[in-house]
Structure 1
Amino acid sequence: MSKVEFKKVVVAYSGGLDTSVIIPWLKENYGCEVVAFVADVGQGEDELVGIEEKAIASGASECHVVDLKEELVADYIYPTLKTGALYEGKYLLGTSMARPIIAKAQVEVARKVGADALAHGCTGKGNDQVRFEGAFAALAPDLHVIAPWREWDLVSREECLDYLAERNIPCSASLTKIYSRDANSWHISTEGGVLESTWNAPNDDCWAWTIDPEKAPDAAEYVTLKVEKGAVVAVDGQAMTPYNTLVYLNDKGVKHGIGRIDIVENRLVGMKSRGCYETPGGTIMMEALRAVEQLVLDKTSFEFREELGLKASHLVYDGRWFTPLCRSILAASEELAQDVNGEVVIKLYKGQATATQKRSENSLYSEEFATFGEDDVYDQSHAGGFIRLYSLSSRIRALNEAKK
């Protein structure tokens, strides 16, 4: 079947096998010029070395590498942290939070080079196709989107390697790929291999960053985080940018095996998937922020923040960052965070990050008021009337039942 021809397509390029195949495939099937776009989200220098040359060798007319590291942490990760978002109670949304900024930058490159289409290498089974295309729809509804994995008939790594070999396009990928991994400065995910059976325990190869907690140092390490308006602004007395804060805490967390989870999650497209995720610095940050919230937020405010976190986790996971609802939730969490200021000491030990000391000038906790001794603000005899009014509906219901 003939395809619509495009003048210029910007493809999200990683340098891996799939996207190396996508570039020549687009040229052959759509008769277009292909521009490669690479997002530097802190996945590591090894992933970026020589990537422009690889893209050109695959057939791209040009390659744009865009540094998004600081913006990712400051404008996407930190705001999400303020909501307290944890997808299905465990996942710190490492892959999910990176997708909207990558999609936004890809659209910006497309506008810059005058492209009339966008392309991505997401499979037809995963969440990322929805996240990218949902962002494209919100930011550039006029640009066509090409998803090769939903169109081509290549079904194996061997076929992809043969495709490149037939065209004399160099590729360093091997025939077998045991695990599928995605990394950025916030986390790394590992899927596939032994993890495809939920009865298989993860082996050492399933963890790419963190040391096995059982092999972590026997001596605990302590880090002190300063929090202002729900954001970590300094660690161990040193002010840092959001990205540098994350890098510093990642280095600390990796050594102590912090931030490992093995989860079976519900994908947006309906199937379940299993993955081993490592978020060392993020786990430390989350523990610190929640510790300050415990001091500062009253009961109903904290309850509302929990509701925001639950809703935000699904919005971010489902690729709905660029929506009015997401903006509203982020605005609400930003307002709640205005008084979330304080200092927290986190103990790092054998895979656990635990807040051991916390203080805030806005703390609602008072040793004077919480004591069982005498104080000036609470008369224990007043509790009886409060309880009688608080339980009035239960009392009336019980009296009605007795009459029956």
Structure 2
Amino acid sequence: MAKKVVLAYSGGLDTTTIIPWLKENYDYEIIAVCVNVGQGIDELDNLEAKAIQSGASKVYVKDVVEEFIESYIWPTLKANAIYENQYLLGTCMARPLIAKVLVDIAELEGAEAICHGATGKGNDQVRFELAIKALNPDLKIVAPWRLWDIKSREDAIEYCHARGINLPFTAEQSYSRDKNIWHLSHEGLEIEDPTMETDYKKILKMSNVPEDAPDTPEYLTIDFEAGIPVKVNGVSMNALEIMETLNKIGGTHAIGTVDLIENRIVGMKSRGIYETPGGTLLYKAHEALEHICLDRDTYSFKSIVAEKFADLLYNGQWFSPLREALSQFVDSTQETVTGSVKMKLYKGNCTLAGTTSAYALYNASISSFTTGDLYNHHDAEGFINLYGLPMTVRALMKRAEGEVKKAAFPDPDRGNQEIR
């Protein structure tokens, strides 16, 4: 009886190539698993038939979109985690959940190994394998890109054609893309040349370019409860409805496209084009609400946590004790992050148009230039004297130091000067 391997299957070029390669090089029964994290009907259509035709014995298609949003996207949003100040972590967030599904099915099927299509140069090999090790360290891992002789996407296409496998694209169109409900990434081909301007009209799938966005601005309101979005334009929605609605609105107005040179886990730099229309709107609104609801020290320390949270997620350490602990801290900060944020969208720009919260720490009677009962301008003098005391003491010390130096080292020319 053949041993079983569970293949993370997307129906794209890499995983289509892997099925015949596994059959030719391993005595495995191949169980293909497609994890639906919101990549869309185009990628999921006829997926089972394609996998069976390529040589898989069984196919699972698991819909985990709601779990993805509620258990991975929302915690990352609440943390305000952004990698290298630009990347909203779209690919990274899905990998631990996909790995979790793969492990569950491997255990259900009694498989001895999990196979993935991540390349030996990329981040995803690290993310998948760290998650698998965290969840079931007994499972073997097969990573064909680290083993086979195929060196490029062109080689993979030729490999498939030689085995009678039809592909719906050519080498000239074979961008490496990753799509889920949060984002769509594009890599490969001319994108790999950082000296070239990207033809966004050719590349983008979720979003308009600014030139094609509406000529009339649109106002958008997002309501949050304890850091989690619950309404769009006053209408209560579930997590999936919120993401679908905001993706459509943000994409229409060309919001959230990033052209990024990033530092990969494995040490090299890479260039990617990321579309995150709905996610960008959520980050903008959530941050605005935090500014009005969190005190200075909490917000400042949370910013440090956000950077570490982003690094952990990017580096495949979602299931680490530190990430779990940071999420508990973040959750405690979100208890008062409740309110409504209004934004104005216009040709790629998203500007604030009003923030309200019952937990707002902004108090107009204190902050206004008009004197209120809660603030006495005369109190500032004593505060400044105490706050500036270290500077005052240092200035006195430097003055005394200068006088000591003058006394110890008199001007050598002074004694030779004539007295007039």
Q: What is the deviation of 1:381?
A: 1.2
Counterpart-to-counterpart distance in 1, 2:240 and 2:306: 22
Q: What is the deviation of 1:385?
A: 1.7
Counterpart-to-counterpart distance in 2, 1:186 and 1:117: 29
SS in 2 for 1:380: coil
Q: What is the deviation of 1:206?
A: 2.7
The residue that corresponds to 1:401 in the other structure is 398
The residue that corresponds to 1:113 in the other structure is 109
Counterpart-to-counterpart distance in 2, 1:256 and 1:64: 37
1:292-311 to 2 correspondences below 5 Å = 292-311=289-308
Contact 1:6 1:30 (8 Å CA) reproduced: no
Give ranges in structure 1 of 5+ residues lacking alignment: none
Residues 1:210 and 2:198 are matched in the alignment: no
Compared CA separation, residues 157 and 197, structure 1 to 2 (3 A): closer
Counterpart-to-counterpart distance in 2, 1:157 and 1:321: 30
1:54-203 to 2 correspondences below 5 Å = 54-203=50-199
Contact 1:157 1:176 (8 Å CA) reproduced: no
1:227-266 to 2 correspondences below 5 Å = 227-266=224-263
Counterpart-to-counterpart distance in 1, 2:174 and 2:190: 8
The residue that corresponds to 1:26 in the other structure is 22
Identify which range, 171-180 or 27-36, moves more after superposition: 171-180
SS in 1 for 2:173: coil
Contact 1:96 1:319 (8 Å CA) reproduced: yes
Counterpart-to-counterpart distance in 2, 1:401 and 1:300: 32
Contact 2:206 2:247 (8 Å CA) reproduced: no
The residue that corresponds to 1:368 in the other structure is 365
The residue that corresponds to 2:11 in the other structure is 15
| Cα-Cα RMSD | 1.5
Contact 2:214 2:347 (8 Å CA) reproduced: yes
Deviations 1:113-135 (A, max 9, x none): 11111110000001111111110
Matched letter for residue 396 of structure 2: L
The residue that corresponds to 1:43 in the other structure is 39
Residues 1:390 and 2:384 are matched in the alignment: no
Deviations 1:228-249 (A, max 9, x none): 0001011112111112101000
The residue that corresponds to 1:379 in the other structure is 376
SS in 1 for 2:186: strand
Matched letter for residue 302 of structure 1: Y
Q: What is the deviation of 1:166?
A: 4.2
The residue that corresponds to 1:275 in the other structure is 272
Q: What is the deviation of 1:328?
A: 0.9
Matched letter for residue 337 of structure 1: Q
Compared CA separation, residues 192 and 300, structure 1 to 2 (3 A): same
Q: What is the deviation of 1:388?
A: 1.9
Which among 316, 339, 342 is matched to residue 339 of structure 2?
Answer: 342
Counterpart-to-counterpart distance in 2, 1:141 and 1:6: 22
Residues 1:328 and 2:328 are matched in the alignment: no
Compared CA separation, residues 281 and 30, structure 1 to 2 (3 A): same
Rg (Cα) greater in structure: 2
Counterpart-to-counterpart distance in 1, 2:82 and 2:178: 19
Compared CA separation, residues 139 and 260, structure 1 to 2 (3 A): same
Contact 2:365 2:374 (8 Å CA) reproduced: no
Counterpart-to-counterpart distance in 1, 2:348 and 2:131: 35
Which among 270, 284, 287 is matched to residue 287 of structure 1?
Answer: 284
The residue that corresponds to 2:410 in the other structure is none
Identify which range, 193-202 or 360-369, moves more after superposition: 193-202
Contact 1:210 1:280 (8 Å CA) reproduced: yes
* TM-score between both structures, scaled by the size of structure 1: 0.96
Q: What is the deviation of 1:25?
A: 1.6
Counterpart-to-counterpart distance in 2, 1:173 and 1:57: 17
State the percentage of identical aligned residues: 47
Q: What is the deviation of 1:266?
A: 0.7
Give ranges in structure 2 of 5+ residues lacking alignment: 402-420
Counterpart-to-counterpart distance in 2, 1:93 and 1:243: 18
Deviations 1:175-211 (A, max 9, x none): 4434221111101111122222212111122322211
Residues 1:222 and 2:219 are matched in the alignment: yes
Counterpart-to-counterpart distance in 1, 2:160 and 2:365: 73
Number of residue pairs the alignment of both structures matches: 400
* TM-score between both structures, scaled by the size of structure 2: 0.92
Deviations 1:361-394 (A, max 9, x none): 0011111111222222211111122222222222
Matched letter for residue 303 of structure 1: S
